[in-house]
Chain A
Amino acid sequence: MSKNVLAIDDSASIRQMVNFTLKSAGYSVVDAVDGRDGLARAKSQQFDLVLTDQNMPRMDGLALIRALREIPSYQRTPILMLTTESSDEMKSQGRAAGATGWMVKPFDPLKLIEVVRKVIG
């Protein structure tokens, strides 16, 4: 059974690209359009990996990570940030919130697959 990934981004094109990339590598992918949508999906289904953007309406990536880390089943689930934000300050905030890693857009699909394999196999 393939590992499932929750991909959260308010950009339709990024969701499509992440979906396309991870599905071609054999993963099952579920999309969410913002942090609040992602949180709702994460509560309804357990995912092996969460991939989230930072700047989103309604709930941003950092708030989502904090909310997920309060859910017992997501305390050890890898959460990767995929964002255009690249400042050290933002990365520090991400680390403090409980992010597993930080990827800066635009992502290299081959590198994304490599990292996802490294994190969840």
Chain B
Amino acid sequence: MPHWSLRPLVAGCVWTLLVGVVSTVLPDFVGRLWVCIAAVGLGWGAVLLMSARMPGDERADDAEVPMAHLEAELASCMHAFEAQFQAVETESAQVLGVLAEAVDQLSDGFETIHASVKSLPSLAPAAGHDARACRAALRQALAALDQVLDTEARHGHASQMLSVLSEALSTRTAQANALLGEVNAIAKQSGLLALNASIEAARAGDAGREFGVVAEEVTALSQRTEGFSAQITAVLSAMQSLVGDARAAMDVVNGQNTDGVRAVRAQVDQWLATPEAAVDASGSASSLDAPAAKIVEALQFQDIVAQIVGHVVSRVGGMREALAELGGVAHDAALARDAKAVGAVCQRAERIGQRLRALAVRTANPPVGRGATPGGSIELF
């Protein structure tokens, strides 16, 4: 079935007007009428003949709509990727903040314990008890404390390592963002290509050849898309690897600190059980409970960090799946040679968009509360 596009109709109208204007200068009315009819008829006939197209041209027009649709879907996907990556960056910053807070609290707690225990030797002689036994017990406590302090130093080192890893995570995320910027540009390019193809098809009337041009462009586009899709996947894989390292580091830190806290607690308990020291130590013992509680509280931040990191891993995993799907779409786009195939590609792109929207909903609520209730609060129903 022949198609009529807007451009030949406009040309026909312009021709009619032109003939009408020119005919006004002819002196003879009847002659002018016949000349007008003949000129308009010839003009319209030529326009109709030139604009009538072969059936193959339909593919170009049909392809125009899906290609525009594809461009819109890809742009939507890219916006979703941007939002996800921004969230990853925010969560990484949250990891750094939580770690810094944990390290500060640990340092404060250990310093308080250290100061309290060191002040005890001077208390026993003043109270008139056996200073030798008291000092011996305290030496043991101090040795255990030194061990804990050594552990704390290692904790600091491990935390620094984790900070470096988290910063690397942010850097790689920024790199991925840059790559996604390119994706966006290419999505726009695909829209321009579709437009150009439709114009060329209308102008030349040989849509089979023009659609071939479009197909070639789509092939080049998809090859490029596949290339950076693989790049993004590699970046995300590296991100996940880094996060895994971070978690392993936290596990090591956790084991070290728990053992250290237990050791110091056991030694302090033993020291409190020493009859000579018990009376003198009683005042300081209560002052040790609060710092120990502070350490216990600080150690829980590692669990919170692990949950945040787990959330990041979940988000990144979702993006990787979507990117893999995108690679498949690019591949199919490379093979698309008709409107039906392009339409199928569009449907796949739509599914990626749906998957990303589902991911956004699924990961909207991070495991670590952003609610009104602060950490440490207790509510009995």
- Which residue numbers of A lie inside 8 Å of B, CB to CB? 11-14, 16-17, 20-21, 24, 55, 84-88, 90-91, 94-95, 99-111, 115, 118-119
Give CA–CA (A85, B365) in the complex, Å: 10
Known interface pairs A13-B254, A13-B258. Does A104 touch B377 (Cβ–Cβ under 8 Å)? Answer: yes
Known interface pairs A106-B300, A107-B376. Does A87 touch B369 (Cβ–Cβ under 8 Å)? Answer: yes
Give CA–CA (A106, B290) in the complex, Å: 15
Can you name 10 A-B pairs with beta carbons within 8 Å? A13-B302, A17-B299, A86-B372, A86-B373, A87-B365, A87-B372, A106-B297, A106-B301, A109-B293, A118-B380
Cβ–Cβ contact A101 & B381, under 8 A: yes
Give CA–CA (A38, B148) in the complex, Å: 33
Kindly identify which residue among A21, A91, A99 contacts B296, using a CB–CB cutoff of 8 Å: A21
Is B303 in the interface zone, CB < 8 Å from A? yes
Is B25 in the interface zone, CB < 8 Å from A? no
Segment 349-381 of B: residues with Cβ below 8 Å from A = 365, 367-381
Give CA–CA (A105, B368) in the complex, Å: 9
Segment 267-303 of B: residues with Cβ below 8 Å from A = 289-290, 292-293, 296-303
Chain B nearest Cβ from A29, distance in angstroms: 14
Known interface pairs A13-B302, A20-B296, A84-B304. Does A106 touch B380 (Cβ–Cβ under 8 Å)? Answer: no
Chain B residues within 8 Å of A104, by CB: 369, 373-378
Main secondary structure of the interface of B (DSSP, over half): helix
Kindly identify which residue among B262, B290, B306 contacts A20, using a CB–CB cutoff of 8 Å: B262
Cβ–Cβ contact A100 & B381, under 8 A: yes
Chain A nearest Cβ from B312, distance in angstroms: 15
Chain A nearest Cβ from B331, distance in angstroms: 35
Cβ–Cβ contact A13 & B376, under 8 A: no
